[in-house]
Amino acid sequence: EDGIRDIGVTGVQTCALPIYVSEMTTTIKQLKDFEGQEVTLNGWVYNIRSIGKIWFLILRDGTGLVQCVVVKAETDEAIFNLESELTQESSVTVTGMVRAEPRSVGGFELGVTNIEVHQIAEEYPISHKEHGTDFLMNNRHLWLRSKNQNAILRVRHQVIKATRDFFDDNGFTLMDSPILTGNSVEGTSTLFELEYFDRSAYLTQSGQLYGEASAMAFGNIYVFGPTFRAEKSKTRRHLTEFWMVEPEMAYCDLDENMTWAEKYVSYVVQWCLEHCKEELKILERDTSGLEKVVPPFPRITYDEAAKILQEKGTDFTYGSDFGGTDETIISEQFDRPVMIHRWPAEIKAFYMKRDVNNDNLALGVDMIAPEGYGEIIGGGQREDDHDLLLGRIKEHKLPVEPLQWYLDLRKYGSVPHSGFGLGIERTVGWITGVKHIRETIPYPRTMYRID
Ligand code: 4AD
Ligand code: MG
């Protein structure tokens, strides 16, 4: 009534200015609101099929696909004859009547009255037959137009939107950490080093340490940005550039940290189930497992997880990190993500607080996604004692000087605090059911691919 469009998010503040809605053209996603009306769609030719006196133009516009029906008896000859001229990915503006058609994707089709051609495309390298992944990745700038890739990246958008909504609505302040840093966070073996004027610097592996400083200034905060690791592993779970969301909470212990993690992950999954129905259908994702993702998640200790592996007769050795197969076996015991906490301190980062009941255990937590998608979250409670932290930095043979500012946080009103980092790409991979995370980011970077 007052011109403010309801965007359907509860708890989100709307501003007094209305969202701009184009009156010139409609998008395929909006067609359901235009049944029985004539609309104009801007897009590209996805495919053409002909049955003589009728031909079908499958149009894509980035928001979806729609079948446009061109009937000889109902259009000008010039328009009908376009069938033999239009090629895959030619750019066109199509006008027509919106009709319900339960058999087509989206439930609607267009009875064409006019087609305006902008460009007849050259022969398009990606046809509708099978191509190898390397070929497709070399053509990633074009592959993004394909139906499945489009659906995956739409889900990514919703994962990020749900992430921001969740933290914003729960009183967290967004505090970005720098990308260029002078110190490592997650060990020195995966650092990308670069020349920085007359010294060297690194691309950040995690925004956590700055996030801790921000939490002491703002209470609950979250960092959200790209992170970098010189991963030499060639797995389907590793990128060299990936996006991480990292909440950090002052006055928060490990248990409360796990509660935030399960609430957040459940929110993202349920949001996507509600808002990505079309995409998940295109991807043929069986969503029955995702529907079970609601709090509480099982919480087990590292020792309990190790016991599961020993009982299953794997060759896992106590004290080491879990490999991909180990994670899958552990996750198969549960119907929702499982949180593994209290790890052998030697295999965890320098900043983790130790368990008061056992100094060999670090108060870290990993969340393992179901269905073999592996670790999506790493986090824990941070060491808040100055002298203990200084000792750990030395034990890990890290230079003290670049971390002096970090030690300061333990001098001026130190408090128990915790946080975690969730990898966006692995989470999108799990929700969409895509096995290799290179398809969950628009332009993936791996050891072998920078183009
Ligand atoms: O477990 P990680 O290394 O934890 C941290 O970086 C902490 N400093 C986060 C924190 O407490 N604020 O990484 C967190 C998550 C992993 O669980 C995984 O989902 C993702 O980041 N991740 C990767 N994703 C893609 N490619 C890689 N090479 C990744 N490395 C980690
Ligand atoms: Mg980890």
Q: For 294-313, what is the mean pLDDT? A: 97
Q: Which ligand is nearest to the CA of 426?
A: 1
Whether the CB of 332 sits within 6 Å of ligand 1: no
Q: Is the CB of 377 under 6 A from ligand 1?
A: yes
C-alpha–C-alpha distance, residues 399 and 360, integer Å: 23
Nearest atom in ligand 1 to the alpha carbon of residue 248 is 12
**Rounded-to-integer distance, Cα 63 and Cα 59, Å:** 10
Chain-wide mean pLDDT for the chain? 94
Ligand nearest to the CA of 369: 1
Looking at the chain, the whole-number percentage of residues with pLDDT higher than 70 is 95
Higher pLDDT, 100 or 189: 100
How do residues 190-230 score in pLDDT, each as one tens digit? Answer: 999 999 999 999 999 999 999 999 999 999 999 999 999 99
369 lines ligand 1 (CB under 6 A): no
The region, left, alpha or beta by phi > 0 then psi within -120 to 50, assigned to residue 292 is: alpha
Residue nearest to atom 29 of ligand 1 (CA): 238
Closest CA to 253 of 385, 355, 348, 381: 381
Residue type, 214: S
pLDDT confidence of residue 14: 63
Ligand 1 contact, 246 CB (< 6 A)? yes
9 pLDDT exceeds 50?
no
Tell me, using a 6 A CB cutoff, whether residue 275 lines ligand 1: no
Section 145-166 average pLDDT = 97
Average pLDDT over residues 256-269: 98
Reply yes or no on whether the pLDDT at 125 is more than 60: yes
Nearest to 429 by CA among 294, 340, 324, 347: 324
Lowest mean pLDDT among 38-42, 72-76, 232-236: 232-236
Q: Is the CB of 156 under 6 A from ligand 1?
A: no
Residue 407 pLDDT class (50, 70, 90 cuts): very high
Could you tell me the pLDDT band of residue 2, with boundaries at 50, 70 and 90?
very low
Pocket test for ligand 1, best of 156, 206, 238 (most atoms within 8 A of CB): 206
- Confidence at 158, pLDDT banded by 50, 70, 90: very high
What distance in angstroms lies between residue 169's CA and the mean position of ligand 2's atoms?
A: 27
Q: Is the CB of 423 under 6 A from ligand 1?
A: yes
Asked whether the predicted pLDDT for residue 394 surpasses 90, the reply is yes
Q: Can you tell me which residue has the tokens 């320098």?
A: 350
pLDDT at 21: 63
Sign of the Cα torsion 250, 253, 258, 260 reads negative
Model confidence pTM above 0.75 = yes
57-61, 79-83, 181-185, range with the lowest pLDDT: 181-185
CA of 405 to the centre of ligand 1 (A): 23
Q: Which residue has the tokens 């590292």?
A: 302
pLDDT score of 20: 67
Per-residue pLDDT, 6: 44
